[in-house]
Amino acid sequence: MTHLDSDLLRTFLVVSETGSISGAALRINRSQSATSLQIRQLETAAGQALFVRHGRGVTLSKAGEQLLPVARQVTNTLDAALADLRGERLEGRLRIGVSDNHSRAALVRIIADFTSRHPDVELEVGCALGTHFEAELESGALDLAVFEVREPAVGDDILRENRLAWMCSRNSDFGSRTVLPIAVFDQACWWRDAALSSLEAAARRFRIVFTSESDVGVRAAVRAGIAAGLLDTHENLDGLALLPDMDTKYPSFLVLRRGRGAKGPICDAMCEAVGKAFQGH
C-alpha cells in the first residue's frame, strides 16, 4: 500500500527550505541524484508534482504547499517521541536575539520547528536591528544571537557570507546627480557607518533623504526610486542596478554567536538546528 515515508518527508522539507535540489543535497549529505530520486519517489506516492521547477531552483506547487505543514508536524512529532524514548527530552530556558532583516523569516521558522521538537524548552526570542546584541551576549542578557557583522569574531559560526553593494532603482538617474540621495539605517550601526564612510572615501556628495530601522525599509525606498542604498546582494535584486561609479562590494557575515557562559544541551541543540538550516544557502 502506498504511504508517506518520513525520510522522504525530511528531504522534501529541506528542498523546500533551500529552494534547490543541489542545496538540499549538500545539507543532507547525499548526492544530487539521490536527492532527486527521493523527491520523485515522494511525488509518485502523492500522485502529483510537489515542486515547480525553474531555472534558479524549485518552488512548492499547490500540492507541495498542502503537504508542507503535515511534513513538519510528522517529523517534529517523530523527533520528540524519539527524544522521550531515549530520555533526551530537553527542559529549560533559552534567550535568543534574531536580526531584523531578510533572514528573520527563516530563523523564526527554525525556532518554531525547534519548539515543536522540544516543547518543554522555554524560548525568549527578540527581533531587533542587532546593534545591541554584542553587549547583551557579553552581559549574559542573551544566550545566542544571529546577526550580521562586518568581521566575524573568534568562535562565531559563520552561517553565510554576504556582499553589500550600492544599489539604485533601474529607472533612476542617480548616476548623473551632483548630490546623491541615500537611504540608511536611522540608528548607529556598522552598516550605516559603512555606507557613509564608503561615500566619503569616494568623495561622493550625498544627502540622507530616508531612514529606517530595518533593511526592509531601506530596500523599499531604493526600489521605489527615492534614494540609493547599501544593500545585501544576496536578496532579490529585481528592478535594481548597481549605482554607477560605486560598484565596489563590501563583505558582510551572518553569524551565530554564543553569549558568555552559554552552554549545555539546549544551546547545543539550537546551534545545531540553525547551522543545519543554513547549509546550502
Cα–Cα distance measured from residue 248 to residue 33, given in angstroms and rounded to the nearest whole number: 38
> What's the pLDDT band for 212 if we cut at 50, 70, 90?
confident
pLDDT reported for residue 101: 66
Query: Looking at the 3D structure of the chain, how many domains does it have?
Result: 3
Residues 168 and 246 placed together within one structural domain of the fold: yes
CATH number at residue 271: 3.40.190.10
Q: Do 150 and 173 have their domain in common? A: no
CA distance 78 to 75: 5
Could you tell me the pLDDT band of residue 222, with boundaries at 50, 70 and 90?
very high
Shared domain check, 176 and 53: no
Is the pLDDT score of 100 beyond 80? Answer: no
Domain boundary among 85, 101, 130: 85
Torsion of CA 10, 15, 21, 25, to 10 degrees: -40
- Give the chain's end-to-end CA distance (angstroms, integer): 37
Q: Which residues of 115-129 are buried (b: 16+ CB within 10 A; e: fewer)?
A: eebbeebebeeeebb
Cell numbers linked to 272: 545545531
Residue 221 lies in a domain: yes
For residue 96, is it within any domain?
yes
173 and 243 together in one domain: yes
pLDDT: which is higher, 67 or 214? 67
* Residue 1 placed within a domain: no
Instruction: With 0.95 as the threshold, say if the pTM is over it.
Output: no
Above pLDDT 70, what percent of the chain? 96
Maximum alpha-carbon separation in the chain? 71
Same structural domain, 171 and 32: no
**Cell triple for 261:** 557562559
Q: Which residue range forms the structural domain that includes residue 19?
A: 6-85
DSSP 65-122: HHHHHHHHHHHHHHHHHHHHHTT----EEEEEEEESSTTHHHHHHHHHHHHHH-TTEE
- Give me the phi and psi of 226, to 5 degrees please: -75, -35
Same domain, 37 and 77: yes
- Given 19, 53, 85, the domain boundary residue is 85
